[in-house]
Chain A
């Protein structure tokens, strides 16, 4: 491998993702200008309320945390050759498990928080299991099965909250001992961030510095070649689903254990669409655990800043979803990049590899 190819191998993803982000922000700006808003003022308000001071930064990081985890669910899937869009449902059951354990059980002191986190991970993994088994036994595509499981999880969790856990407009709260403590006094950033970062680093270590992760990625790159090399692709699929389920379950847990109201609202709306948003986070992060962390901070900033963007510049918060949508659509179309590349002075960039095979 020549030096120029190495540089190209790093530059490519950066430029490709950077191009998509730029396209999203520019099209958003154009739309704002078209409707008579001031895009400059909007983006300035967005930026200052996402990074302006330590409180803003804390807000951004706190919103990035669950996105790191749901982003990992999708990213791990892609690495094993899967399109696992089931993070939303796995997050619902994970959060539900965390509320049940954190709100109903009274374990010995010191064990409450670890139990709630572990329970959420187990629940998330269990909810990914039907999709894994359907794929292995019946060849059912995971996009179909995970969409179905997401909706089943929504109605099931709503039923459990309304029937067994309801306390007014929300479920019972988790006990104070089961909550994730703040990192430092006075700043609203819980140790959920540490959980997210630690999990992400663990996934990185597993996937890139452990034989199990090597097998998983080998199965994703080329199942036939992997089988020839003694890897059983089916086992790797199962492993990827379960790991992803852990991550998504944990995402649900850190939301209810680390953030007010320390409970689930009756319609689960306090979890929003964090599971689906993880898909965009993973794509921008090039399905790499370290990239996912950076990308989650970007999306966390959008989430943290959009309210002030509406307040100060009058731009509806919905603009952020437009920007995100454009980014994802742009990432879907690699040829957009090829079209743009003719305009760029990087003739040595290697050709784009397939989605499954990309990354440093």
Chain B
């Protein structure tokens, strides 16, 4: 296959692959701006993907499922926030635990509910696509773009955004001028959970129409890479999500081309590696530690 044609037919897949990565990353940008790191994104994605399926099945419509996914994401974020903000716990350890918990809860839940570790969804529960010239487009693709813009506006043009940045950069000063540091941080983390939850729901209800406890397949970690890549800017997180989604889509295309007999121009493993190598290069070259909020990952204790 000609390289140009390959790059072109990959685009629609890339737009889909962008959604969960970009949503989780945009949400995490807000949380990290407030000074809270959540490396449990992978766990949030898988738990919300599962909750979305359960919600959609119960209500018989995918829209309720999307809402259930967001709620589940917010609930997990609430747990993480409670530990990291109010209990002054270690955010990274909590995130590691949430990732473990996610794999276990979804595997256990699927076995308990359906007697099987994976489930194919009925067509009635699929999120319907928007008709476009090349087929259909998930409504979550434009929604993700919209959310990126809205989040940028929220962070940079509203009083809430200012408060988020204040509690991330200098919680003591924010506290002195009367900003409720812990509440603002919790809100930021829950906002991240809502978006991550939407991304997880998209994975099961819209993209793959299945649920297993390995569904996110590392996308939570790619989202973390995207956050670093974005320099904590939601719009760049969208661009990063698209780029990383694009490489993923390209790797899928190369794999299927290879299994079809035509030798691939480039081993898919190297394509899959690109986002991670790119992130390392970006952090090594463009970003020092100064670009992150000063109080990142540190619980706030009033002296």
Using a CB–CB cutoff of 8 Å, the interface residues on chain A facing chain B are 31, 35, 83, 85, 130, 134, 137-141, 143-145, 147-149, 151-152, 155-156, 158-159, 162-163, 276, 279-280, 283, 316-336, 355
Q: Is the CB of A329 within 8 A of B272?
A: no
B residues 34-93 near A (Cβ < 8 Å) are 37, 39, 43, 79, 83-84, 86-93
Q: Which residue of chain B has its CB nearest to the CB of A330?
A: B97
- Say what secondary structure dominates the interface of chain A: helix
Number of interface residues of B (CB under 8 A): 51
Chain B, residues 92-104, CB within 8 Å of chain A (1/0): the string is: 1110111111111
Q: Could you list 26 examples of A-B contacts with CB < 8 Å?
A: A139-B289, A140-B284, A144-B279, A147-B39, A147-B225, A151-B276, A152-B280, A155-B270, A155-B273, A156-B269, A159-B270, A163-B267, A276-B96, A279-B93, A280-B100, A316-B107, A316-B117, A318-B111, A318-B117, A325-B99, A325-B102, A325-B105, A326-B97, A328-B93, A328-B100, A332-B94
Considering the complex of A and B, which 10 residue pairs feature the smallest CB-CB distances, nearest first? A321-B104, A325-B101, A318-B107, A328-B97, A329-B97, A322-B104, A325-B100, A332-B93, A333-B89, A335-B87
Known: A155-B273, A321-B100, A325-B98. A283 touches B280 (CB 8 A): no
Instruction: Name the residue on A nearest B40 (C-beta).
Output: A329
Q: B20-44 interface mask toward A, CB cutoff 8 Å, 1 = contact, 0 = none?
A: 0000000000000000010100010
Which B residues are in CB contact (< 8 Å) with A280?
96-97, 100
User: Do the beta carbons of A329 and B273 come within 8 Å of each other?
Assistant: no
Interchain CB contact under 8 A, B101 and A321: yes
> Between A and B, how many residue pairs show CB distances below 8 Å?
151
Q: Once bound together, how far apart are the Cα atoms of A266 and B270, in whole Å?
A: 16
Nearest residue (CB) in B for A339 is B87
Taking Cβ atoms with an 8 Å cutoff, the residues of B that contact A are 37, 39, 43, 79, 83-84, 86-94, 96-108, 111-112, 117, 213, 218, 221, 224-225, 228, 267, 269-270, 272-273, 276-277, 279-280, 283-284, 287-289
**Could you list 4 further interchain pairs (A-B, Cβ under 8 angstroms) beyond the known A140-B283, A318-B105?**
A151-B273, A152-B276, A155-B270, A327-B97
Chain A residue contacts of B276, Cβ below 8 A:
148-149, 151-152
| Docked pose: A35 CA to B277 CA in angstroms | 44
Q: Chain B's nearest CB lies how many Å from the CB of A307?
A: 14
Residues of A within 8 A of B103 (CB): 318, 321, 325
Contacting residues, chain A, for B277 (C-beta < 8 A): 148, 152
Chain A residue at minimal CB-CB distance from B93: A332
